[in-house]
Each structure stands twice: as structure tokens, then as C-alpha cells.
Structure 1
Amino acid sequence: MRPQTLAEAVERIQSGEPQDAMLAQFVDTFDLAKTDGDRYASIEREPKLTGDSRLDALVGAIAEYLAKQRRLGRVPHWVCDPARRLDHPWFTAAAPSDAMREFLTFSSPAEFASRNIFTEERPLRRARGPKQ
């Protein structure tokens, strides 16, 4: 069963479920929600900080990105917590070359780059997501 909230996805990751699968399943839940109110409700509750600085920053980026991309009209307050930002750059590509680092630096959405996370231009796209 897919996690119904981002906070639930983080709880399940902490209990040992695979991070990539839980976050992907949460994005599916978000995309399949019937209303914008349901979408916002799925990101509104703050996920507990895990002590994994990358995961903590990533969930902040995910919530802000989804709220802005889907034009929900508001972003959860918790995404502004300084604990949701990395001190050092994280390039999500495996062993990125200098050229790939440069590409990711310029292609990363602001919601990720502002947290020092450098990734592809559309990091949360899913096969069943909305057309963009």
C-alpha cells in the first residue's frame, strides 16, 4: 500500500523500507489525489527529522517542489527549517563527471538547488504523473 503522506513515507523509510520505492510511491499518491486540498494534505504534516541530512533536505525539496509545480497556492511552513538544507553539495547522479556536475548545477529546480541538491530538470516525473 502506498504511503498516504510524505511524513508516512519517511516513517516507513526509517522502519527499513527502501527509500527510492517509498518516495516514488508517495509521488504516485500525490499525483493521483482527486483535489488540490488532498494533495496539500499529503505534504502538510512535517516529516520527522531522521538524522540523515540528505533525506531530511530531500523531503523538504520534494514538498516545496510538488506544491509549486502543482500550483497549490501554498507551501508547508516546515520546508523552511534550516535542517532541511545541506551544508555541502549533493549531486544525485552516481559518480558525476565535471561536465555532469555543471549540467546538474544549472538544470536543478530551485527547490532542490536552494538546498544544495543537484539533480535532473524534472526530478519527480513518474509514468503516471500529470503531463507537463
Structure 2
Amino acid sequence: MRPSTLHEVSERVAAGADPVKQFSEFLDHFYDRADQRQMLDCLCDAPPMLADIHLNAFYAAAADYLSKRYRLSAIPAWVSSPDRRLDSPWFTQADEALRGYLTFSSPAEFRSRNIFTEAVPLRRARTWQAEQRLLQRLAAA
């Protein structure tokens, strides 16, 4: 069963589960949510802090990014914790040739936490469905 919250992702990772698989499955769950309230419910509970400082910061950046991207009614308060920021830069791609591009292209929610990633992070096959629901909501407003 997919994790339905970032809190659950972190708990599973702490218990030894693969962080990439757990986060990917969480994103599939998040993108399948029908409305903003359900999406926010996936993000609102703070994930337990892990020994991996990169994941702690990454989960905060992801929650911040998803909240803003899908124009949710709130950004979870836990994402602002100083413990969820990195002191040293972390590049999600190991290729040094990409560092300049990643530094320039990273969304603010990631860059502000010293995480450097692609311009449109967190893409999955289900992203398209969530984008269509967002456009419908905006058109109706």
C-alpha cells in the first residue's frame, strides 16, 4: 500500500524502506487526490526527523513546492523549521557538469534549503491529471 502522507514516508524510511520508492509512491498518491483539502492532508503532519539530513530538507522542500504549485490553502508550518535546511549545497544529480544548470534552474522552495534540482521536480505519470484539475479549478474561480 502506498504511503498517503509525508509523515508515513518518513516513518517507513526510518524503518528501513527505500526512500526513493516510498517518496515516488507518495507522489502517485498525492497526484491522485481529488481536491485541495485532500492534497493538503497529505502534507500537513510533519515527518519525523531522520538521520539523513538531506531527506529532512528534501521533504520540507517538496511539501513547500507542492503546496504552492497546487495553490493549496496553506503551507504546512513545519516546512519552515531551520532543521529542515542544509548548511552545504546538495545536488540531486551527481554529474558535476549539471551543477551550473541545477543552481540556476532549481525552484525557490528547494534552492532556499540549499537543494539543487531540475526546474520541474517531482514529476510522475500522474502529474498530468493533477495539473488538469488545477487548471479546471482556476478556470472556475
TM-score (norm. length: structure 2): 0.89
**Pair member with larger Rg:** 2
Mapped to 2, the partners of 1:94 and 1:56 lie a distance apart of: 19
Offset of residue 6 of structure 1:
0.6
Offset of residue 103 of structure 1:
0.4
Higher percent of residues as helix:
2
State the Cα RMSD in Å.
Answer: 1.1
TM-score (norm. length: structure 1): 0.94
Q: Which residue of the partner structure matches residue 9 of structure 1?
A: 9
Give 1:34-53 correspondences, 5 Å limit: 34-53=34-53
* 3-state SS of paired residue (1:126): coil
Mapped to 2, the partners of 1:120 and 1:95 lie a distance apart of: 13
What is the percent sequence identity of the aligned residues? 46
Mapped to 2, the partners of 1:127 and 1:31 lie a distance apart of: 9
Q: Deviations over 1:71-96 (max 9, x none)?
A: 10310000000000000000111232
Q: Which residue of the partner structure matches residue 122 of structure 1?
A: 120
Unaligned runs of 5+ in 2: 133-141
Q: Which amino acid aligns with 1:29?
A: H
Q: Which residue of the partner structure matches residue 101 of structure 1?
A: 99
Q: Deviations over 1:76-123 (max 9, x none)?
A: 0000000000000001112322xx111000100000000000000111
Aligned residues: 130
Unaligned runs of 5+ in 1: none
Q: Which amino acid aligns with 1:90?
A: W
